[in-house]
Amino acid sequence: MAHTATRRAARREPDSKAGDHIAWRGLTVAVRVLIAIEVILLIVGVGTIAAAYGAYRSILPIVPRGADIGDYQPRATTILYAANGEEIARVFDEEDRILVDLMDVPEVVRNATIAIEDKRFHSHRGFDPIRLVKVTHLEMTQGGQEQGGSTITMQLAREIYLSKRKSFGRKIQELALAIEIERRFSKDQILEMYLNQVCYGDRTYGIRAAAERFYHKDLKDLDLHEVALLAALPNNPEGRSPYNHPQAAKERRDLVLREMSSEGYVTRDEANRAMEMPLGVKERAPRGLLSYRAPYFTQHAILELVEKYGHDRAYGGGLRVTTTLDLDVQAKAQEIVRNGVERASGQRVRQGAAVVMEPNTGRVLAIVGGKEWSEQDQYNRATLAERQPGSSMKPYVWAAAMEILGLGPSSGISGAPASFNVGGGLYWSPNPGGSGGMYTLASALAASVNIVSARLALSVGPEAVVRTAKRLGIRSDIRPFPSIALGSEGVTVLDQATAYSCFANGGYRAAATCLAKVTDHNGIVIDDCHPKLESVLDQRIAYDMNQMMQGVVRGGTGRSAQGLPAPTGGKTGTTDRSCDAWFVGFTPKLTCAVWVGNDENDPMYGVYGGNVPCPIWKQIMTMAIEVTGKSGGEFPGPGRSLPRKPSRSVALVQGTPAAEKPSESPAGGGGGGRGAPQNLFY
């Protein structure tokens, strides 16, 4: 028995060793597998960390430096105001955005956004792991979700710094950038940036612009259901547009209200009552030119703003611009021009334009660019159209002659018809426009004698006339043809008003401006737009010109301008075939230029400076004096016309008696073209 037991034991011993060996081998394999898994995980982890770090490093250069919210400057709408503070225009390219400080955003508006977009906004550091897990689960089990996985900070990162194209790489950058933004900015700063940045649809960006666009209200005046709708829009502004998809907008709004109730921002009863309300959005208001008040004036003010600050800042700098516009003067001047053109329609007058400004400051009070602004006709004839001024050009000729030749108002000039040799064997025989006798400089201007203007212009040289006109304020590309003496070169209504102001204010060019003050959106002054005055004409000459143009009104071609409650001077102008007719005049405190004509340059019938534009001018000035209170006053100057001696010995060009020379057109042609010598008169 013992032997048998010993043999059994012997047989069992090898079995035990074999089992131990098998167990050891299994353990070794398991350990190796675990090590391999750990290595793989380590490699994956290191790779993920490296990828995340790489993404993090990739966005550092585009993160704003510093902790000041001022580093963040989104494009914002520029707003223009009339002189009385009433808004007249909003100027923007694609994004209508009105910036707002967070302190001016009601708490209910902030809470609505946080409730629907990022419940744990105040507790996370850029991304919300809980939300990401929830969203991922919903995507896997239901194929979609009402709320995305991006926090407010991640959305801000995407809106400001990243492309809109979805990709894994962009999401990594979004996460990394959100963390960096959270590190550098406070929660209040982030929420303020978000509320100013995001799109609410209908080309509206930022919560303040959205409140005004959809409800015509300030943020503080919004009701709960209106707040909820605005908070609902950034998630899908086009797909949930209250204008185009009202049912989808209402469903999302009601979700916002339920979330606000769930988070304790409002009671359940308040949410339920708000859900019963209709969307209540206001009808879409027009934008751009169609929304501008005083569009002729506003158009030019915007052009001036662009010229001064550049397009990007003018259209996206969030400027607040107080203009020089007087809304009453503008509206009434527009009506006067329209009525005046309609009264003369039987004489084939179809258009008119006018500018009213202050001669001592250059501030423009009104611009009438046509009979009536419309969606079909937005051409500003007061600032863009260069029309032949006719005899309203003569004051520049007189001023040049007085300055260069030393002439005075009582200097004698022949009014005899003549032909002038203008070179190349060509002769110019202008219509004399007078009785043919001797004139003083003053009487020749009052009677608008063409032959006197021609003699003066040729004596000083057409180039000198151009230089004088430009110095006084004519910016058009006027050329020194002999016929410039009679107004053959085109000028604008605005420039005429600017140049004539030099005669009213004692010889200073007051740069015409529509801008009174420019600030940023916080009210910090950028430019006070002080009047810019430059001495361009000797005060004695300005005074004498002033006195002579008062004579035009007292007993010359401008008699229709009599009767204002202030000293009045001015000059008429009519072109060949009556294609253009003008009156430009002034008092000590106001200057006004008026033009009538046709866009197609068609002739008018029986129209000249004294019978259509002059009465319109008088009506505008009478009204403007009454509205502004700018009556009375005295013109600056020495108080009397001082005798002069010629500054240098220059004989006046007398020409050859007209009967002895053929009337031929000089180079430039004849007929009515720009630069051609014409029979311009009155």
As a whole number, mean pLDDT of residues 625-654 equals: 72
Q: How far apart are alpha carbons 230 and 211 in whole angstroms? A: 7
CATH code at position 108: 1.10.3810.10
CATH code at position 638: 3.40.710.10
State whether 101 and 228 are in the same domain: yes
Euclidean distance between the first and the last CA atom of the chain, given in angstroms as a whole number: 156
Six-digit token string for 275:
């859900």
Domain extent for 223? 96-275
Residue 299 lies in a domain: yes
The alpha carbon of residue 257 and the mean position of all alpha carbons in its chain are separated, in whole angstroms, by: 40
State whether 200 and 301 are in the same domain: no
Question: Of 9 and 119, which is predicted with more confidence?
Answer: 119
User: Which of residues 275, 304, 338 is at a domain's end?
Assistant: 275
Share of the chain above pLDDT 70, in %: 79
As a whole number, mean pLDDT of residues 66-85 equals: 79
State whether 169 and 300 are in the same domain: no
State whether 350 and 416 are in the same domain: no
Confidence of residue 288 (pLDDT cuts 50, 70, 90): confident
Residue 33 lies in a domain: no
Chain segment 496-518, per-residue pLDDT in tens? 999 999 999 999 999 999 999 99
Which pLDDT belongs to residue 48? 53
Which pLDDT belongs to residue 641? 46
Reply yes or no on whether the pLDDT at 524 is more than 80: yes
State whether 123 and 270 are in the same domain: yes
Mean pLDDT computed over every residue of the chain: 86
Question: Of 124 and 128, which is predicted with more confidence?
Answer: 124
Which pLDDT belongs to residue 642? 45
State whether 101 and 243 are in the same domain: yes
As a whole number, mean pLDDT of residues 55-68 equals: 54
Which pLDDT belongs to residue 29? 52
Give Cα separations from 512 to 86, 359, 361, 454 (angstroms): 22, 9, 8, 30
Share of the chain above pLDDT 90, in %: 70
Helix (H, G, I), strand (E, B) or coil at 239: coil
Which pLDDT belongs to residue 665? 39
- Residue found under tokens 């009538």: 596
- Residue found under tokens 């098998």: 22
Chain segment 246-263, per-residue pLDDT in tens? 999 999 999 999 999 999
Segment among 140-154, 167-181, 280-294, 365-379 with least mean pLDDT: 140-154
Chain segment 562-618, per-residue pLDDT in tens? 999 999 999 999 998 899 999 999 999 999 999 999 999 999 999 999 999 999 999
Which pLDDT belongs to residue 682? 36
Which pLDDT belongs to residue 134? 61
Which pLDDT belongs to residue 140? 54
H helix runs in 419-492, sequence order: 441-447, 450-460, 462-472
What angle do helix axes 224-232 and 107-117 make, rounded to 10 degrees?
A: 40
Chain segment 37-60, per-residue pLDDT in tens? 555 555 554 555 565 556 556 655
Q: How far apart are alpha carbons 455 and 436 in whole angstroms? A: 13
Reply yes or no on whether the pLDDT at 132 is more than 70: no
What is the Rg, in whole angstroms, of the alpha carbon atoms belonging to the chain? 40
What angle do helix axes 268-275 and 224-232 make, rounded to 10 degrees?
A: 80
pTM attached to this predicted model:
0.84
As a whole number, mean pLDDT of residues 225-249 equals: 96
Going by DSSP bridges, is the β-strand pair 78-81/320-323 parallel, antiparallel, or unpaired? parallel
Which pLDDT belongs to residue 176? 81
